[in-house]
Structure 1
Amino acid sequence: MKVRKESSRIVKPSYDGTPPPTTNYIPLSVFDKVTYNTHIAVIYAYRPPTPPNVTVELGLQKALSVYREWAGRLREDVNGDPVILLNDEGVRFVEASVDSTLDQAMPFKPSASLLSLHPSLKGVVELVQVQLTRFTCGSLVVGFTAHHHVADGHSTSNFLVAWGQACRGLDINPLPFHDRTIFSPRDPPRFEFEHRGIEYTGKNLKKDYPLGDNIMEDIVVHKVHFTLEFLGKLKAKASSMNGGNKPYSTFESLVAHLWRAITKARALGGYETTHVRISVNGRMRLNPRVPPEYFGNLVLWAFPTAKVKDLLREPLPYAAKLIHDAVTKVNNNYFKSFIDFANHKAEEEDMVPTADMNKSVLCPNLEVDSWLRGHDVSSTILHRGWKHRCFHSSIPG
């Protein structure tokens, strides 16, 4: 598949009335600063009918006027603290084409060829990049990259929906909640949980682990489709020993199954320790609750952990309970303990985030990201009812 780049330009917000000042800035919250310092790429594929590029561009301009952070730039304030400068310098907008039909290119497989369907992630100053790639059959692939310091998956999904509403001439609803100063530490602070080695680590302990060719050659990409019938039986089996309590979720049940299956396939030693890194959304866990429209990062991580011999010897409910309990632990108290630690201890002890794209979650561990909720609205990005396929690009590049 050869992608031909035809144009590349900067697209800026379009305002009704007088534009806002371009000197304001938004300080990054502790949740923004602890997450991955990188761009994340997503690819959406649509079959015709699709709107012309100009409609997509105009919708993007309108959405950026509401989500101004994306059109800004990452900077530092006078104290050296990271901020988002709302200078409206805009996002990168690329138009491209392929001399084949989408059917001829499908199914997309995770490979280096996917990198041509979204702008490069190297040396990017724009916080969002968009690439529209047209196929001869009228299909459209939208490549979208966004800087993780600005927003998590939940917030980015809200933006994509707003972009879709703007493309269809609708009012953006609901509007985002922009205040990132709501995460104040308690007085006095309470460090109820251990955050060293979880969200933070010492600078002298942090090492770079580049993804060389030798590592990439050892990675096997495997796509699996689980039927609803299989998932139903798996959920019932995973919940069969939880004492009549609420059944484990489909996500918890499936991750438990995969954790055991992958660990068994790896033929690890029985006394080796394995864990799963799972993202946990804090919007519904903090008290008082943070509005789902909150725009920014609000994610911490759960780390269910087990000895290999226990994970494989015990039945599926054992792994499901480990996952459920670890996720449940990342509750209101945990989030507030993190806020206190991030404000009082992390800088004092010269600590840095453990979230690092230069490190790979490889054997004996796993990393799991759920798209069951945050991205199930992606079909509304550009046009209601469009058939689409969604791909997450995690290939270094």
Structure 2
Amino acid sequence: MKVKIGRSRIIQPLYEGTPPTITNHIPLSVFDKVTYDQHVAVIYAYRPPIPPTVTIELGLQKALAEYREWAGRLGKDDNADPIILLNDEGVKFVEASVDRSLDQVMPFRPSASLLSLHPSLEGVVELVQVQLTTFSCGSLVVGFTANHLVADGHSTSNFLVAWGQACRGLEISPLPFHDRTIFSPRDPPILEFEHRGFEYINKKLKKVYPLIHNGVDDIVAHKVHYSTAFLAKLKAKASSLNGNNKPFSTFESLLAHLWRSITRARGLSEHEVTQVRISVDGRHRLNPKVPNYFGNLVLWAFPKAKVNDLLNQPLPYATKLIHDAVTNVNDNYFKSFIDFANHEVKEEEDLVPNAVADTEESILWPNLEVDSWLRFPFYELDFGCGGPYIFMPSFFPTEGMIFLLPSFIQDGSIDVFVPLFRDNLETFRQICYSLD
């Protein structure tokens, strides 16, 4: 796919009335500091007729006025602590074109060709980048990248919805809550949980990975579609030992199935330990709740198991491990983390965020990480031509990093993107629909 880059410029917020000062800044919260310091890219595709570019651009300017952090820059304060400079320097806005129809060239799974549909993720000072690529058939692909230090998936998807609302002349709703100073530690701190080895690791303790002959070039991103009928059967089987207790969720059941299937496809030793890193949103787990908070408000659950137990015990075993681990990341856990991050991390200079170390790895073997976008309103980005008919992550070749998305059929089915080594892919294909 040959993409011709046209006009590129910086888009700044458009305020009603007197613009705010551009000398203010806000600190990164303890949740921002432990997440990934990198851009994340997503791809949207729209069928014609498409609104004029000026409409999409103006809507973005209006949305940036409410989500001002995206138009700023990362920096340091006088104490060398990380901050977001609210300087309105703007976001990158690129226009591009392809002299072919979208259906001829658009892959329906992440592949390297998607990288040409959004700006580069390397060496970026802008916190948001947008690329509008028009095709000869009149279709539009929107490539969007955002720095994860500024906001998590929940906040980013709300911003994208707001962008669409502004394009359609609607009031932005809900309005974001911006105060990142609300996560105050308790006095005295109450450290109920262990956070070393979870959110933080000792930088002197280098991770030791098994010898793997495959390289990054051998990683293939495979797409699996799970129908609503399959998911219903899977959920029933995962919950079959629950008795009168509440059934496990579709997410828990599907993740347990994927964990077992991928572990089997990898051919791991039965004595090896494998774990899954699962994002847990704190907006409705904290007391009091902060539903419209803009920023990062995620910690992680880490269910783990010996390969022998994971594969030989029935599906409910893995599902319960996931359910219990996610349930335990509750209000007490979030507040314990806030206390730990404000006290212990300052005292122990060798502690660094676990996510920073993980970002440097392209192979998660024998572990997994799951990014679930099942509850995010990504499909509600409507510029005035209706919602997208394709939505997917860009190409992100990290072995073991799986993405769960609502299918663009929008019937309750789920699409899963699974990056695996090519040698393991055929086995995974053979068993990924097995309920045995």
TM category, shorter: over 0.9
Counterpart contact for 1:40–1:394, Cα < 8 Å: no
How big is each residue's C-alpha offset from its partner over 1:22-46, in whole Å with a ceiling of 9 and x where there is no partner?
0011110000010001111111111
% same residue: 72
* CA root-mean-square deviation: 1.8
Shift of residue 305, structure 1, vs aligned partner: 0.4
Number of aligned positions between the proteins: 393
Query: Aligned pair in 2 of structure 1 residues 86, 181: CA closer, same or farther (>3 Å)?
Result: same
How big is each residue's C-alpha offset from its partner over 1:2-34, in whole Å with a ceiling of 9 and x where there is no partner?
000001100000111111000011110000010
1:315 and 2:314 are equivalent in the alignment: yes
Letter in 2 for 1:9: R
Alignment of 1:253-292 (within 5 A): 253-290=253-290, 292=291
1:336 and 2:335 are equivalent in the alignment: yes
Residue 218 of structure 2 aligns to a residue in which SS? Answer: coil
Q: Which residue number corresponds to residue 7 of structure 1?
A: 7
Letter in 2 for 1:161: V
Query: Aligned pair in 2 of structure 1 residues 303, 128: CA closer, same or farther (>3 Å)?
Result: same
Shift of residue 106, structure 1, vs aligned partner: 2.5
Alignment of 1:352-391 (within 5 A): 352-356=352-356, 357-374=359-376, 376-383=377-384, 385-391=386-392
Matches of 2:157 and 2:295, distance apart in 1: 11
Letter in 1 for 2:169: G
Q: Which segment is superposed worse, 386-395 or 267-276?
A: 386-395
Query: Aligned pair in 2 of structure 1 residues 102, 261: CA closer, same or farther (>3 Å)?
Result: same
Matches of 1:346 and 1:287, distance apart in 2: 24
Residue 40 of structure 1 aligns to a residue in which SS? Answer: strand
Unaligned runs of 5+ residues in structure 2 are 399-436
Letter in 1 for 2:372: S
Alignment of 1:137-216 (within 5 A): 137-206=137-206, 215-216=215-216
Letter in 2 for 1:313: N
Matches of 2:24 and 2:92, distance apart in 1: 21
How big is each residue's C-alpha offset from its partner over 1:181-215, in whole Å with a ceiling of 9 and x where there is no partner?
11000110011111111010112235799xx9962
Shift of residue 385, structure 1, vs aligned partner: 2.6
Q: Which residue number corresponds to residue 117 of structure 1?
A: 117
Matches of 1:44 and 1:208, distance apart in 2: 38
Letter in 1 for 2:375: R
1:236 and 2:205 are equivalent in the alignment: no
Counterpart contact for 2:56–2:167, Cα < 8 Å: yes
Unaligned runs of 5+ residues in structure 1 are none
1:297 and 2:299 are equivalent in the alignment: no
TM score, norm. by length of structure 2: 0.87
How big is each residue's C-alpha offset from its partner over 1:161-188, in whole Å with a ceiling of 9 and x where there is no partner?
0000000011111110001111000110
Counterpart contact for 2:216–2:397, Cα < 8 Å: no
Matches of 2:340 and 2:215, distance apart in 1: 35
Q: Which segment is superposed worse, 335-344 or 351-360?
A: 351-360
Counterpart contact for 2:164–2:383, Cα < 8 Å: yes
Letter in 2 for 1:332: D
Counterpart contact for 1:160–1:378, Cα < 8 Å: no
Letter in 1 for 2:307: V
Q: Which residue number corresponds to residue 22 of structure 1?
A: 22
Matches of 1:99 and 1:213, distance apart in 2: 40
Shift of residue 328, structure 1, vs aligned partner: 0.4
TM score, norm. by length of structure 1: 0.96
Q: Which residue number corresponds to residue 80 of structure 1?
A: 80
How big is each residue's C-alpha offset from its partner over 1:288-337, in whole Å with a ceiling of 9 and x where there is no partner?
111x2110000011111000111111100000000000000100011011
Q: Structure 1 segments of 4 or more deviating over 3 A?
A: 206-209
Matches of 2:105 and 2:264, distance apart in 1: 35
Counterpart contact for 1:108–1:114, Cα < 8 Å: no
Residue 42 of structure 2 aligns to a residue in which SS? Answer: strand
